[in-house]
Structure 1
Amino acid sequence: MNYLLISELAPDFLIQGFGLHQDENQCYVGKVGGQEIQLLSSIDDLQSDQTDIKILSVGFTEASQNFRPGDVLMTGSDDLLDRAFQAMDELEQRGVVVSLASPQDPTHLYLAKEQMDPFVQKWRSRKISFLCLWMVDPIESEGQAKLVSILRKVLSKEKSNDK
């Protein structure tokens, strides 16, 4: 099982936070909590025929009437969302589940990320495990560290669930 990491942000904090190194193909790779992880330079590098993968995506969004600076917004498959909630509880981080499709139900919070929606729909239809995390601006080093901590905990929970 490989994890593919995609970032809308400059990836330096992920490379450093996960201790990734360049392989012979100039891709950043590493192991986190016993899990193989590869950083993709863009979502377009994701090959549509890849199987046996899990996708972790990080990015940012602007504050609105529903979201406060420092909130982490997320969407994903149930398995990874559960682990993200556990990780956020441990870190005392506020997490908000959002929908990328304009909701019919007014109780769902909507996040306008049009460029991500087709990918998310495809991952759902192919039953690929994925987790998208968006930090509400401003994203400073503290916010980047939170994203790395959440992802580290999600990856380490994978290991403990496999036993």
Structure 2
Amino acid sequence: MNRLISEISSDFLIQGFGLHEDERKIFVGKVGGQEIQLLPDFHNLDLETKDLKILCVGIAEASNHFRPGDVLMTGSDDLLDRAFQIMDDLEQRCVVVSLTPSQDSTHLYLSKEAMEPLVQEWKQRKVSFLCLWMVDPIDSEGQAKLVTIIRKVILKDS
């Protein structure tokens, strides 16, 4: 089961994946036979679900390390590897970031205080997850890229 969570307006995800609202008021759909749910937030996320994959989408501010249009990501090794291959195919610049400040200057830090404890829990529980943040501004082309990246990550399992 694929769970999508968005820090930004999720309209582009609903349209991009052709999701519809179910009786529980959750947007659901399928991508290449894979079930997908768009959750409104991180609450009620059942980490015990079999074959769970968490895909988060958000926005980041430009800085001296990150340029507008860059995709920043962190995640479990399996989904990060997939995302790297997909980014190469799309010729999309991507940067792996850490949500924890490090003394190591090779680790780029992204301040996402609300996400950091969740990511640590997912790592401890060995949940497959991928967080993607596009550096502001996100235009319709950027939104389409995010949908394409997530779709390809999901379809790698099919």
State the TM-score bracket (shorter-chain normalisation): over 0.9
Query: Which residue is equivalent to 2:77?
Result: 78
Find the counterpart in structure 1 of residue 4 from structure 2.
Answer: 5
Q: Mapping of 1:102-141 within 5 angstroms?
A: 102-141=101-140
**How many residues are treated as equivalent by the alignment?**
158
Distance 1:68 1:158 in 2: 31
Alpha-carbon distance, 1:154 to partner: 0.8
**Structure 2 partner of 1:20:** 19
Deviation at 1:15, TM superposition (A): 0.3
Question: What is the alpha-carbon root mean square deviation over aligned residues?
Answer: 1.1
The Cα of 1:105 is off from its aligned counterpart by 1.1
Which amino acid in structure 1 is aligned with residue 151 of structure 2?
R
Higher percent of residues as helix: 1
Give SS of 2:25's match: coil
Amino acid at match of 2:152: K
CA-to-aligned-CA distance 1:132-159 (integer Å, 9 cap, x gap) = 0000000111111110011111111121
CA distance, structure 1, for counterparts of residue 103 and residue 157 of structure 2: 33
Alignment match, 1:143? 142
Q: CA deviation at 1:52?
A: 3.2
SS of match in other structure, 2:100: coil
Q: Distance in 2 between matches of 1:107 and 1:48?
A: 31
Deviation per CA, 1:105-129, whole angstroms, max 9, x where unpaired? 1110000001100000000000000
Match of 1:35 in 2: 34
Q: For residues 62 and 141 of structure 1, what CA distance do their matches in structure 2 show?
A: 17
Matches of 1:39 and 1:86, distance apart in 2:
24
Tell me the secondary structure at the aligned position of residue 139 of structure 1. Answer: coil
Structure 1 stretches of at least 4 aligned residues deviating more than 3 Å after TM superposition: 47-52
Do the aligned residues in 1 keep the contact of 2:61 with 2:136 (CA within 8 Å)? yes
Letter in 2 for 1:119: L
* Cα shift at 1:44: 2.2
Q: Deviations over 1:23-74 (max 9, x none)?
A: 1211100111221100001122323554531100000000000000000000
Corresponding residue for 1:98? 97
Aligned to 1:62: 61
Helix, strand or coil at the partner of 1:131: strand
Equivalent residue, structure 2, for 1:156: 155
> Any conservation in 1 of the 2:75–2:131 contact (CA below 8 Å)?
yes
Matched-pair identity in %? 69
**When the two structures are superposed, what TM-score results if normalisation uses the length of structure 1?**
0.93
The gaps in structure 1 that reach 5 residues or longer are none
Q: What residue identity is the alignment partner of 2:6? A: S
Equivalent-residue separation in structure 1 for 2:72 and 2:65 (angstroms): 11
Q: Secondary structure at the match of 1:30?
A: strand
